[in-house]
Structure 1
Amino acid sequence: MRKCKCFTNLEHEEKWLNDMAGRGWRFVRKSLFSYEFHEAVPEVGRIKIDYRAFVKKEDFEDYRALFEDSGWKHIQGSKSSGYQYFKMVNDQGSEDIFSDADSKAGRYKRLSEMWFSISLSFFPIIVALMSTGTLKPAALLDPEALYLTPGLWEKTGVGFWRAFLFETPFALLRGLSAWLLPLVIMLYLIFAFKANRQYKRSQGEGLSD
């Protein structure tokens, strides 16, 4: 079974995965916003999530071994995926994959930096598209600029409506492309802001403890 979900809070994602395990659905893998589950015997979910990417494979293997020595099996994630999923397989192990509040909060800091870096990476693309005329900022404020048929707005009657209706689907696609990159950048910035806010909140909870 596959389910599509989007989480910006790792605790909420952990709870959902553990609830699915309690209903008899074992988490197998994740790709973007799609989660794959296999039917299994219901069990008490004990899945925890970290966010960490590695340059060297050796460092990634040492990272996995460190958690597995503490009773947590690595069940999903790669050297560069960032999201790392662990499941408790040894009741004698530690209750959490994090040793203290700072390390638990640190995953949100790394997550926020990742989203912010992605949003910044789109700005050179926007500049390049604007410099070549592919992306026209004026089209965002002037819908008529999305229609490229010469003399369209001087036409009248049936001739106007025929040309207008013919080009409207293409104009909508141009408008969508003009809005798409700014919307994607805004979305990633929102993700970065939420992760940073959760980082500060987690730090505060650690201090209060």
Structure 2
Amino acid sequence: MRVFKFFINLNKEEKWLNEMAKQGYSLSKKSCGYEFTPIKTEYAAIKMDYRRFKKQEDFEDYCALFEDSGWQHIAGTKHSGYQYFKKADESGTEDIFSDVPSKAGRYKRLSNMWIGLAAFYIPIFAAFVAVGFIELAPLLDPKSLYLTPGLWEESGAAFWGAFLFETPFALFRGALFALFPIMIMLFLIFAFKANKYYQSAQSD
């Protein structure tokens, strides 16, 4: 079974995954969505970290470190950032983190990731504007998205017929022009929220 959800608060994501396990669905893979394998209903202590690695060896050492503490790595890759662990040994540690700063640090790394994405797309957006691939005028004046000559001088049935016919095309053009600004804004919002969770986690 595949489920599509989005979280910034890792604690809420952990809680949801544990609830899914209680309902008989165990997380088996995370990519563009969550993939679950049917299992017998169980209480599964699932914890998360956010960490990326340049070398496969470093990633394997990272997973082995948690396995030595009784936590099995169940989803995540060296590039994915999001790492999922399931408690495999009842005698293992109660958490995958040894202290508050290390647990809070995952939100800092998550915030830095969103800022990095925004920083990556800003120069691309600026370059597209500079070469004319993206126009800013339609974002400030939506009427310019309509290309029918004399549309705004028409009235009555002639106006509404042309307006309704071209509106889907105008919305599509507008979406293309607004895609990068919207993406950049969302990345910055996600970074801000993750940083707030980081600050809050430090005081827990």
Query: What TM-score, normalized by structure 2, do the two folds share?
Result: 0.92
1:180 deviates by 2.1
Q: What do residues 148-201 of structure 1 show as CA deviations (whole Å, max 9, x unaligned)?
A: 344444566776555544433221111112222212111111111111011111
The equivalent of 1:193 in structure 2 is 192
The equivalent of 1:17 in structure 2 is 17
Does residue 92 in structure 1 map to residue 91 in structure 2?
A: yes
8 Å Cα contact 2:118/2:184 also seen in 1: yes
Query: What TM-score, normalized by structure 1, do the two folds share?
Result: 0.90
Matches within 5 A, 1:37-186: 37-154=36-153, 163-186=162-185
Distance 1:178 1:140 in 2: 7
8 Å Cα contact 2:107/2:198 also seen in 1: yes
Does residue 202 in structure 1 map to residue 197 in structure 2?
A: no
Aligned length, in residue pairs:
204
Distance 1:124 1:173 in 2: 23
Q: What do residues 58-82 of structure 1 show as CA deviations (whole Å, max 9, x unaligned)?
A: 1111101111111111110101110
Identity of aligned residues (%): 59
The root-mean-square deviation of aligned C-alpha atoms, in Å, is 1.7
1:132 deviates by 2.0
**Greater displacement, 134-143 / 192-201:** 134-143
Distance 1:168 1:19 in 2: 44
8 Å Cα contact 2:24/2:42 also seen in 1: yes
**Greater displacement, 163-172 / 34-43:** 163-172
Distance 1:91 1:123 in 2: 48
Q: What do residues 32-74 of structure 1 show as CA deviations (whole Å, max 9, x unaligned)?
A: 3x21112111111211000000001111111011111111111
Does residue 35 in structure 1 map to residue 34 in structure 2?
A: yes
